[in-house]
Structure 1
Amino acid sequence: MAFREWAGGLSALALLALTGCATGEAGASTGPSDEVTVALIAPFTGFSANYGPEAKAGIEIALEDAGYAAGDTEITLITVDEDVLDPSQTLERVKKAVEGDGADVLIGPVFGSSQQAVAPYLSQRKLPMFTFLGGQESLAGERSGFIWPAPDDQTARPLGTYAGEELGYETIATLGPDYAYGHDAMNGAAQAFEATGGTVVQQQWVPLGTTDMLQYATSLDRDVDALVMWLVPTDAAAFVREYRNLGIDIPLLMFQGVFDPDPAVTRSGS
C-alpha cells in the first residue's frame, strides 16, 4: 500500500479538526478570513527519507479535493523534517513550526520515538496531533493524540492470528526495528500467535540506521515454520535481498509493504 494513500485518507479526518481550530470559544465561526496551518512531520532527508514525500503527496491530493479549505477556513500546508535518529531535533523543529510558523494542526510524526518526544509539548499547547502510521496507545490518553489506523500493538496482531489459525504454523521467528513502534507491533503479532497455541522461537531487533542486513538473515533460526517481520520499507527490501541470496525458503509474512523498484522483491512483500 502506498503511504500517500494512508496520509491522504487521514487528511480527511484532520479536516474536521481544522474546522474546530477556526471557531471561537463559544463555537461560532470567526469569519471567512480565517486561516489554519497544517504541519506534516515526517522524514524528508536522511534515514527513511521516502516517507516524507509520499505522505506530502497524499495530503496534497486530499487538500486539493477540499479546495485547500474547511468551510470558510483557508488551509496552508507546511512540512517539518523528522530526524528519525534524534527525536530531540524533531522536537525543536516542531516547536519552530508551532511558535514560528503558526502550525495549528500536526500530522505525524512517523516514528514512535519522535511521537513520544513531541506529544507532551503538543498536549501542553493543546494542539492536535494525528499519527498516520499508528502510535502507542498511551498517546490517545493525551488531549492531542489521535492514532490512525490503530495502536501499534494492534497493527500486526491479525498477522499472528492468521499464521496460527489459517496457515497452521506452530513456530515462528520475528524480525523488527529496535524502537518503540517495532517492539509494539512485532510483540503484538507474537502475542496473537501464541494465543493460537503457537511458539515464538526467536525475536531479532534491528537498530535504526543499520545497513548490514546479512547478519540478521544468517542468524535466523532455520527450523521455524515462518518469519513474521516488519522493517522500515527500504530496510525490508535490503533484508529480502540477503534472504534470497542465502537461498532461505522459510515463508515470509510481512505487512505495510516494501519500497523497492525490483518487482521480484516487491512481490515477495505483497
Structure 2
Amino acid sequence: MFNRRKFLASAAALAASQIPAISRAQSDPLRIGMLSCKSGALASGGKQMEDGFALFLKERGNILAGRQVELIVADTGGQPALAKTRAQELIQRSHVDLIVGPVAAFEALAINDYLAEAKVPFLCSSAAAEDLTQRKLNPWFVRTSSTSAQPCHPLGDYAAKELGYKSVITIADDFAFGQEQTAGFQRVFEANGGKIQTKLWAPLTTADYGTYISQMSGVDAIFAAFAGANGLRFLKQYSDYGMKDQIPVISAMTTVDEGVLKSMGDEAVGIVSAGWYSAALPTKENIAFVDQLRKVTGVDPGFYSVGAYSAGLALEAALKATNGNTGDKEAFIAALKKVEISNDPRGPWKLDNFGNPVQNIYIRKVERKDGRLVNSVIKTYDQVSQFWNYNPEQFLASPVYSRNDPAKI
C-alpha cells in the first residue's frame, strides 16, 4: 500500500544524502588557526599580528562570505619546534580550515613541509623567508607580507643613487630574516657601485651592542636590520655612544617599524628605511585603518598588524570567489592565489606566480609630527617584485640569500 508520508520522508532523505558535503560545510564555522608569539624577543610582533587580524574580523562582524569565523590562536614562543607542535595541534585537534601567521621566518620554515603534506592552506602574514616563495614552493602557501629582501633591494638602489653612499657597514640579527635582508641590500647596493666594508651579526637575544658599535667607522652609513625590540635597543645604544651625528643609519623595514617606533626618541629621527607600508600613507583606506587600530591599541599599525590585516583581505576575496566554500581545498587555494587587492591600507598588490605580493615599496624617513614619530614617505618604487629587476629564472638559479651569499666584495 502506498504511504505518501513515508515516500516523502524517504525522498527527502535521499535528496539530503546527495547534497555535496562541501555545500553543508559552508554553513559550518570557518575555523582559522593563528600561530602567534606571546613571549621572547618577537612577542611584540605576535601581539600586533593578532591586533591586525582581530580588527579585520571585528569590522566584518566576525563573518566572512556568510560564514561565522572561529579564530584559534596558538603560542609558538618564537621556537621552531614548538611552532610545528602548535601547527599539528591546530590541524589534528582543532581541525582548522587554514593557518595564518607565524611571526618569524624560522618558524615558517619549520612548519612549511608539514603543512604541505597535510594539504592545509598556509596564509603567511609576516614570516618573510625567501625560499618559501622561491626554491622550496609549497603549493598550499600564500604570503601577504614580502620576502625578507624585497624592500631592501630598492633601499640598496636608493642608498647608492640618491643618497650617494659609497661604503656601508651592515649589522643584523643573526637569523634568516636579518641575513636575507642584508643580502638583498648588499646585492643591489654593490651592483650600483657601493661597497660593503664589514658585515656584523648579532644574536637575536643580544642586549648590549657595544662591541659591535665599536667596530663602526670609516664608512658613509650603517645598514641595520633588526626585528622586534632589537632595533629599539641598538638605536638607543648607537646614540648613547655618540654615533648618531657621526655616521647615519639606514635600515630595513622592521628596525623602525611603527610597533617599536612608538618607544623610540630622538635616536630614530632622520633614519631612512624601506618597507611596503607606512602608517603615514595618506590614502583613505590607510587613514581609516590607522584611526580604527589606534582606538583599539593606542598606537600606529606597522609590519605585523598590516600583514595580518592583508591576510584577512586576501582570505575574504578568496572566500567570495568560492562562495564561502573551503571544503574543496584545491579550488580554495587556487582562488587565494589569484587575489588582487585594491583596498589595502598599504596600497594595491597582487600575487606573482610564486604566491608572493608584487607591491609598492616606500622609502621612508623618520620624522616627528604631532608629537609622535612617523615614517614619512619620501619616494615610492611602484609594484616591486620579489626578484627586483632580475630575471626570475636567473635569480632562482643562484643560492638563496644567506650570511655569505652574496659574498662581500
TM over 0.5: yes
Query: Among 180, 187, 190, which residue is 2:176 paired with?
Result: 180
Q: Distance in 2 between matches of 1:105 and 1:185?
A: 28
Deviates more, 1:251-260 or 1:49-58: 251-260
Q: Give the deviation of 1:150 after TM superposition.
A: 2.1
Report the residue type matching 2:172 in the other structure.
G
Q: Which residue of 1 aligns with 2:68?
A: 74
SS of 1:102's equivalent in the other structure is coil
Mapping 1:36-185, distance limit 5 Å = 36-84=30-78, 86-140=79-133, 141-185=137-181
Report the residue type matching 2:82 in the other structure.
Q
The answer on whether the counterparts of 2:169 and 2:198 sit within 8 Å (CA) in structure 1 is yes
Kept in 2: contact 1:171–1:199 (CA 8 A): yes
Amino acid at match of 1:251: P
From the superposition, tell whether residues 129 and 267 of structure 1 become closer, same or farther in structure 2 (CA, over 3 Å): farther
Residue 9 of structure 1 corresponds to which residue in structure 2?
Answer: none
Distance change in 2, residues 1:128/1:267 (3 Å): farther
Structure 1 runs, 4 residues or longer, greater than 4 Å off: none
Question: 2:241 matched to which residue of 1?
Answer: 246
How many Å apart are 1:210 and its aligned residue? 1.6
Distance 1:191 1:224 in 2: 18
Q: What does the per-residue CA deviation read over 1:67-124, in whole Å, with 9 as the maximum and x for residues that have no partner?
A: 212212211112121232x311111111112111222211111211111100001111
The aligned counterpart of 2:212 is 216
1:139-168 CA distances to partner (integer Å, 9 max, x unpaired)?
A: 232112212232223231111111001101
Shift of 1:174: 1.0
Partner residue in 2 for 1:12: none
> How far does residue 268 in structure 1 lie from its aligned partner after superposition?
5.1
What amino acid is the match of 2:86? R
Show the counterpart of 1:202: 198
Counterparts of 2:38 and 2:50, CA distance in 1: 10
1:173 and 1:226 in contact (8 A); partners too: yes
Contact in 2 for aligned 1:237/1:265 (Cα 8 Å): no
Cα distance change, pair 148–71 in 1 and its aligned pair in 2 (3 A): closer
Quote the residue 2:17 is aligned against: none
- Code of the aligned partner of 1:261: S
Larger Rg: 2
Provide the aligned C-alpha RMSD in A.
1.9
In the alignment, the residues of structure 2 paired with residue 32 and residue 99 of structure 1 have an alpha-carbon distance, to the nearest angstrom, of 20
Farther off after superposition, 26-35 or 170-179 = 26-35
Look up the SS of the partner of 1:151 in the other structure: coil
* CA–CA separation in structure 1 for the residues paired with 2:126 and 2:268: 20
The letter of the residue matching 1:176 is A
CA separation of 1:110/1:31 partners in 2, compared to 1, >3 Å: closer, same or farther?
A: closer
Q: Assess, with a 3 A threshold, how the Cα gap between structure 1 residues 95 and 46 changes in structure 2: closer, same or farther.
A: same
Aligned residues with identical type, % of pairs = 24
Distance in structure 2 (CA, Å) of the matches to 1:129 and 1:197: 39
Question: Which runs of 5 or more residues in structure 2 are unaligned?
Answer: 1-19, 272-365, 367-409
- The aligned amino acid for 2:43 is A
Q: How many residues align?
A: 243
Question: Quick one: distance in 2 between partners of 1:163 and 1:239?
Answer: 21
Q: Which has the higher contact order (CA 8 A, sep 6+)?
A: 2
Q: Is the 8 A contact 2:123 2:144 kept in 1?
A: yes
CA contact (8 A) 1:119 1:144 kept: no
| Structure 2 CA distance for aligned equivalents of residues 81 and 215 of structure 1 | 33
**More off after superposition, 132-141 vs 248-257:** 132-141
Q: Deviations over 1:236-267 (max 9, x none)?
A: 11111111111112111122324152432453
What is the TM-score with the length of structure 1 in the denominator?
0.83
- Gapped regions of structure 1 (runs ≥ 5): 1-25
AA partner of residue 245 (structure 1)? D
Q: Indicate if the aligned counterparts of 2:210 and 2:237 stay in contact, CA closer than 8 A.
A: yes
